[in-house]
Amino acid sequence: MTRVLVLNGPNLGRLGLREPEVYGSQTLADLAEMCRETGRGLGLSVDVRQTDDESEMVRWIHEAIDGKTPVVLNPAAFTHYSYALRDAIAQRTAPLIEVHISNPHAREEFRHTSVVAAVSTGTIAGFGLMSYRLALHAIAELTTAAS
């Protein structure tokens, strides 16, 4: 069974409370269960994590690199400015899909730039929590194709 890390950046621990008109009413626990359930159906073992700490996120990316572990990453605010995260992702050894719950291009102008997109395998955005499901399907396809 392929192991996948689903990593979530700052403020995503507040899902269900934070701007429900943008991010919906489901919680991080709901998201984690949905990801694990989707993963089981795809033959993936899914480990869901969230941090507000940039250095912890970079360490998790390093862990994925060292283990050749695919990643679904919602970098949240780190998307727009974290060159440390970008440089870590550039070393990736397995697929990494950038996801966003909302569509950053339909929001404030500062959200239109992703410093991690160019070093990610691909980006899925604007489909609510379904963005994660789509990313897990992409990971399953990519890891099967690589086998």
Q: Quick check: is 100 catalytic?
A: yes
CB 7, CB 35: distance < 8 Å: no
* CB atoms inside a 10 Å sphere around CB 53: 10
82 is in an annotated binding site: no
Q: State residue 22's pLDDT score.
A: 66
Q: State residue 102's pLDDT score.
A: 82
d(CA 28, CA 124) in angstroms, rounded, equals 18
Q: State residue 73's pLDDT score.
A: 98
Q: State residue 23's pLDDT score.
A: 65
8 is in an annotated binding site: no
Q: State residue 16's pLDDT score.
A: 86
Q: State residue 110's pLDDT score.
A: 66
User: What is the DSSP secondary structure assignment for residue 72, as one 8-state letter?
Assistant: E
Regions in the chain scoring below 50 on pLDDT: none
Q: Using alpha carbons, select from 36, 46, 62 the residue that is nearest to residue 2.
A: 46
- 107 Cβ contact partners less than 8 Å away, ≥ 6 residues apart: 22
Q: State residue 145's pLDDT score.
A: 77
Which tokens go with 27?
Answer: 């919680």
d(CA 143, CA 121) in angstroms, rounded, equals 12
Which among 23, 83, 105, 132 is annotated as catalytic? 23
Q: How far is CA 24 from CA 15, 110, 127, in A?
A: 7, 21, 11
Q: State residue 15's pLDDT score.
A: 84
Q: State residue 26's pLDDT score.
A: 84
Q: Quick check: is 62 catalytic?
A: no
* Domains by residue range for the chain, with CATH: 2-146 (3.40.50.9100)
Which among 81, 100, 132, 137 is annotated as catalytic? 100
